[in-house]
Amino acid sequence: MQATNPLRPFLASITDKWLLYYDLAGVRTLTIHKLYCKYGLAVRVAPNEVLFSDVSVVSQIYGQQTAFMKAPIYDSMSVPPMGIFSLRDKAAHSQRRSLLSHAFSQQNVNDCMPTISHKVDLLLNAFRHEQGAVTDVLLLFRLFSFEVVGELFLGTSFGALETGTAPQFMHDMDRHFLLGGIEWSFPWLAALLRMLPIPSLAHYLGARDRLAQFGNIALQDYIQRYGRDTKRKDLLTKILVPQGQAAAMTDRETFMEIGNLVFAGTAVFADPTSFFPDRWLVGEPTAGQKTMFMPFSKGTRACLGKPLAMLELKLVVLALMSRYKVKLPPQTTKDSMGLRDHFLVLPKSGKCELIFEPLERDVASKA
């Protein structure tokens, strides 16, 4: 989006590098929120980039006929061939989305219920081992998500919930976005770092290549075990077998998408930076709140995995809240749960530690 009016801050009209410090510090989102509070609903962050927190422009930016696509930085978020997450060309993105979207229909996701329910059972088993003790639920929930998508897109399990250990793929995903930002802002630095003969650094920088290799190996293993048209109750089969007259994606395009799929304003919300769950329970949301609440984005860029994510959320919340009461341990504080934003948003401490104690009726039933 071209900025033609003198929006502030002034430094942003000269360079986009001023924001790099806040990116590396993991506070980009909070910094931009402060800019909205100071300058209004439109702020410049680079010579040719303006951000909006304005209900009136949402449909123009996110609508089906929008002329606005993702920023050039997304070019650094993938390796060729580009996956749907990084595709910026409108026609190419539309074509790829049409090849993938049917796999995520509510019916197809519902067909996967037995697999997802089995993973919920494994998650509950992990909580049983931890009950009464301090538990890092961020880790367990992430492991659960990886286990679900592993079964649905790879036909296999990482074994993460049984071991309680994050697979290498998850570590590489976390590194991938930070590395993409560095390569976009300082390509010369990324090239220099790759030349240094330091094994640990080389391993860290190899995250993106390992993600691509992982997708390729996983796809070939799946095809060898099950074939292409398997009738399995998973989502990869739906992707391998295109609908109607659509041409199937190449294997390379498919395994790049596997990596993507295993991965997914002040004036509107009062006190938006505060943790206030009751805001969703008191009264009906306003039209502006409905418009600006976009956890899965909107329009042509809306998250394909929303039906799967919502099903997982409902099953997990029901399973846990019907069995446990939740307490806050002393080490979980406002500071430990502060925002750390390196494209993926995580708590500053890297953990979300809680204590889960069985409900009295659950204890009585075991007596």
Q: What is the pLDDT of residue 119?
A: 94
Sign of the alpha-carbon torsion through 194, 198, 204, 210: positive
Q: What pTM value is reported for the model?
A: 0.83
Every domain of the chain with CATH number 1.10.630.10 lies at 72-131+139-322
150 CB-near residues (< 8 Å, 6+ apart): 156, 157, 158, 262
Q: Which CATH architecture has domain 72-131+139-322?
A: Orthogonal Bundle (1.10)
The pLDDT of residue 212 is: 78
Residue type at position 277: P
Q: Given this model, what pLDDT does residue 88 score?
A: 83
Q: Please give the single-letter amino acid code of residue 2.
A: Q
**CA 53 distance to own-chain centroid:** 21
Please report the pLDDT score of residue 99 as a whole number. Answer: 80
Distance, in Å, from the CA atom of 27 to the CA atom of 310, rounded to the nearest integer, reads 28
Q: Which residues are annotated as a binding site for heme?
A: 303
Parts of the chain with a pLDDT under 50: 1-6, 264-266, 364, 367
- Say what the pLDDT of residue 263 is: 54
At residue 3, the pLDDT reads 42
Nearest to 31, CA basis, from 48, 47, 14, 11:
11
Any long-range contacts for 56-59 (C-beta under 8 Å, 24+ apart)? 58/291, 58/292, 58/298
Three-class SS state of 296: coil
Q: From the annotation, which residues make up the binding site?
A: 303
Q: Where are the alpha helices (DSSP H) in 270-359?
A: 287-292, 306-321
Q: 325 to each of 105, 130, 170, 314, 363, how far by Cα in Å?
A: 34, 13, 29, 17, 12
pLDDT at position 200 is 92
- What was the pLDDT predicted at 2? 41
